[in-house]
């Protein structure tokens, strides 16, 4: 047994589940009107989103390089690339909410009576819903890949 592969797999899974939780937290927090405190919380949660996403990439690269299956298993597997595409799309979709959270938080700090514009909030809700939906594809592709599909 290779302990390195096991440790990398454990960290990878814990990080992915953490990212799912963060997407869920953002989804819940943006369902209602956003107070200054909620905006500050969203900015903090979103910061962790970015950190965890980067750690997923680093640990994932470690799994490709040092994992038991070898890099060839991943590089030539279309399910792997579908999983990577879904992850990249989720990351790209997260840019707009991140920018909006930061902007709204700055505006709320500068003006205590600031209200998030309804149209912008609706737009961010759509982005986060879409992120969540596409994120669900990642474990689907991962499970198929782990069972030899796509190779």
Reduce the DSSP state of residue 70 to 3 states and report it. Answer: coil
Asked if 66 and 5 count as a contact pair (C-beta separation under 8 A), the reply is yes
Query: pTM to 2 decimals?
Result: 0.91
Asked if 47 and 106 count as a contact pair (C-beta separation under 8 A), the reply is no
Asked if 39 and 108 count as a contact pair (C-beta separation under 8 A), the reply is yes
- Residue by residue, pLDDT tens for the chain (151 residues) are 589 999 999 999 999 999 999 999 999 999 888 888 899 999 999 999 999 999 999 999 999 999 888 899 999 999 999 999 999 999 999 999 999 999 999 999 999 889 999 999 999 999 999 999 999 999 999 999 989 898 8
In the numeric block, which tokens belong to residue 86?
């879904």
Cβ burial, residue 62 (10 Å; 0-12/13-18/19+): middle
d(CA 55, CA 63): 12
- Chain-centre distance of CA 81, in angstroms? 17
């Amino acid at each position: 047994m290779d302990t390195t592969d096991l440790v990398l797999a454990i960290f990878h899974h814990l990080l992915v589940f953490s990212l799912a939780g963060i997407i869920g937290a953002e989804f819940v927090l943006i369902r209602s009107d956003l107070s200054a405190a909620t905006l500050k919380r969203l900015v903090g949660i979103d910061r962790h989103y970015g950190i965890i996403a980067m750690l997923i990439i680093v640990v994932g690269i470690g799994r490709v390089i040092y994992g038991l299956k070898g890099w060839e298993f991943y590089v030539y597997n279309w399910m792997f690339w579908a999983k990577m595409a879904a992850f990249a799309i989720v990351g790209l979709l997260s840019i707009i909410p991140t920018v909006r959270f930061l902007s709204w938080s700055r505006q709320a700090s500068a003006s205590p009576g600031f209200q998030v514009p309804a149209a912008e909030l609706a737009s961010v809700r759509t982005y986060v819903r879409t992120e969540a939906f596409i994120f669900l594809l990642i474990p689907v592709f991962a499970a198929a890949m782990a069972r030899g599909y796509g190779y």
